[in-house]
């Protein structure tokens, strides 16, 4: 970096800080932000991301600039109703004022921790998380992103059991770090990184007999299994809901073979599916559970795991860093956000709100499915984790694109391209819901004509 580069960097940093701190932007500022954002993504981020966005927004010209409650706006004040929810982040809404107030108060006190003194908020949050999770889940470890939480769960299962093998499922999505993607169930995300963790067997999701057979065969040939990892509902896999009793059977199998049962509740948890945690539907307590997305209230990134006492072996007490030591995991701002989120969810019964609004969504989707059966093949969901399934991926993309043109934001799933999710904030207003379904009606009609369905 030359002195000229440093001078340019300082000049640009000052200008961008000015944009951030400005109460209003001039038309010239807006144009500069728009044009420079496109150039920056093409040159310094990844041009492929803009090409991907064009499949929905046609020209990638919308620059996200502010948000509130159930919508966000671009630089020019164009509002989009949020039916994507940041893939599950915004259960409590955008910039929830109650959560934001708590985070701002903590920011005025101190933002990050010394890494050495006792940070009280981490302890309070761990205690609260133990209180709102099933059974005897007790010990928490906080991380920053979902894949990182999954890594901790996988490591803890090995520490606790001494095993080395994992059983995962076809169609699973647990993140894209090396350990997490080893558990993933779609070849396109795995094949460029093979060999991954070798001691993984993938079985059919929803088939508990296949899980038991895999473990039995491994044990028979002298291998030791560390854990079973499963999403209670496969979110990225296309909102695939297993038959009733599946989770109970996994609990029995884990007990019989003395392996750790890991539930990945990063997307299904924190009220999204109509209960605080999806595993509560079958009254099953895992040995290790991951959480994230909505856990930070749509304000701060925070994820983590909570585990039953038997998994917290002496080695973890003797060496507290053996599991991991993320610099920013469980930082005060993130913990403040999560504590305020738990408070807000309990005070306003967010799981119940997701359940009631989810039932309304499902009823309205039922009406549209009867009206456009050749376009909307089927739909399914729990709470406000809902998906629409179409005859082929191109049809789903076309519906998404039409919705975007009508200022409704949603998206497909990463594993099953034929499905489009509806994952709005629980605080989505009745007025916004009516607008969403009016736009969906128009979009389905347009796509029916476009594809001759």
Look at residue 302 and tell me whether its pLDDT is greater than 80: yes
Cα distance between residue 176 and residue 192, in whole Å: 12
- Token pair, residue 366, equals 């039922």
- Portion of the chain with pLDDT greater than 90, in percent: 87
CA distances (Å), origin 431, targets 142, 388, 438: 37, 21, 11
Look at residue 296 and tell me whether its pLDDT is greater than 90: yes
Look at residue 272 and tell me whether its pLDDT is greater than 80: yes
- pLDDT one-digit tens code per residue, 323-361: 999 999 999 999 999 999 999 999 999 999 999 999 999
For residue 156, count other CB atoms closer than 10 A to its CB.
Answer: 26
Cα distance between residue 138 and residue 125, in whole Å: 11
Beta bridge partners of 378: 389
8 Å CB contact between 296 and 323: no
* Closest by CA position to 189, among listed 209, 206, 168: 168
Question: pLDDT tier at 61 (50, 70, 90 boundaries)?
Answer: low
Provide the CA 75 distance to its chain's centre, in angstroms: 26
- pLDDT one-digit tens code per residue, 306-332: 999 999 999 999 998 999 999 999 999
The burial of 46, by beta-carbon neighbours within 10 Å (0-12 exposed, 13-18 middle, 19 or more buried), is given as: exposed
Answer left, alpha or beta for residue 88, where phi above 0 means left and psi between -120 and 50 means alpha. left
The CATH fold of domain 350-451 = 3.90.1150
Could you give the residue range(s) of every CATH 3.40.640.10 domain in the chain? 98-348
CATH 3.20.20.70 at 98-348, yes or no: no
Query: In this predicted structure, what is the pLDDT of residue 21?
Result: 93
Region 281-310 average pLDDT = 98
pTM confidence score: 0.95
8 Å CB contact between 386 and 362: yes
- pLDDT one-digit tens code per residue, 370-393: 999 999 999 999 999 999 999 999
Beta bridge partners of 421: 387, 411
Could you give the residue range(s) of every CATH 3.90.1150.10 domain in the chain? 350-451
Q: Which residue has the tokens 């949050």?
A: 125
Query: In this predicted structure, what is the pLDDT of residue 37?
Result: 87
């Amino acid at each position: 970096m030359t002195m000229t580069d440093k001078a340019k960097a300082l000049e640009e940093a000052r200008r961008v800080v000015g944009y951030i701190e400005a109460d209003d932007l001039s038309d010239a500022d807006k144009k500069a932000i728009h044009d420079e954002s496109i150039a920056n993504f093409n040159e310094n981020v990844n041009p492929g991301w803009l090409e991907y966005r064009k499949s929905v927004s046609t020209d990638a010209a919308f620059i996200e600039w502010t948000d509130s409650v159930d919508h966000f706006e671009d630089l020019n004040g164009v509002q989009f109703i949020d039916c994507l929810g940041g893939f599950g982040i915004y259960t409590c809404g955008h910039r929830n004022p109650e959560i934001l107030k708590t985070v701002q108060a903590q920011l005025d006190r101190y933002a990050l921790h010394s890494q050495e003194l006792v940070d009280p908020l981490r302890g309070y949050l761990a205690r609260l998380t133990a209180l709102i999770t099933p059974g005897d889940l007790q010990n928490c470890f906080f991380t920053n992103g979902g894949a990182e939480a999954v890594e901790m769960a996988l490591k803890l299962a090995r520490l606790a059991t001494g095993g080395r093998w994992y059983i995962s499922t076809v169609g699973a999505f647990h993140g894209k770090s090396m350990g997490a993607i080893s558990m993933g169930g779609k070849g396109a995300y795995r094949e460029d990184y093979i060999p991954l963790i070798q001691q993984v067997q993938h079985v059919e999701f929803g088939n508990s007999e296949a899980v038991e057979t895999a473990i039995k065969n491994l044990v028979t040939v002298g291998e030791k299994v560390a854990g079973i990892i499963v999403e209670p509902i496969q979110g990225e896999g296309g909102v695939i809901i297993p038959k009733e009793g599946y989770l109970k059977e996994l609990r029995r199998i884990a007990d019989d073979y003395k392996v750790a049962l890991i539930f990945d509740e990063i997307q299904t948890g924190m009220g999204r599916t109509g209960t605080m945690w999806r595993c509560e539907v079958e009254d099953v307590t895992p040995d290790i559970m991951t959480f994230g997305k909505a856990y930070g209230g749509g304000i701060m990134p925070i994820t983590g795991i909570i585990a039953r006492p038997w998994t917290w072996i002496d080695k973890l007490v003797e060496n507290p860093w053996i599991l991991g030591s993320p610099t920013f995991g469980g930082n005060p701002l993130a913990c403040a956000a999560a504590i305020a989120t738990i408070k807000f969810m309990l005070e306003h019964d967010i799981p119940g709100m997701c359940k009631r609004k989810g039932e309304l969504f499902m009823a309205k989707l039922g009406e549209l499915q009867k009206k456009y059966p050749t376009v909307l093949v089927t739909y399914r969901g729990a709470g406000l984790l809902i998906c629409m399934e179409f005859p082929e991926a191109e049809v789903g993309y076309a519906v998404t694109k039409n919705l975007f043109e009508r200022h409704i934001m949603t998206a497909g799933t990463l594993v099953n391209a034929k499905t489009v999710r509806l994952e709005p904030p629980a605080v989505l207003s009745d007025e916004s819901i009516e607008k969403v379904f009016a736009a969906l009606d128009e979009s389905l009609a347009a796509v029916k004509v476009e594809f001759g369905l």
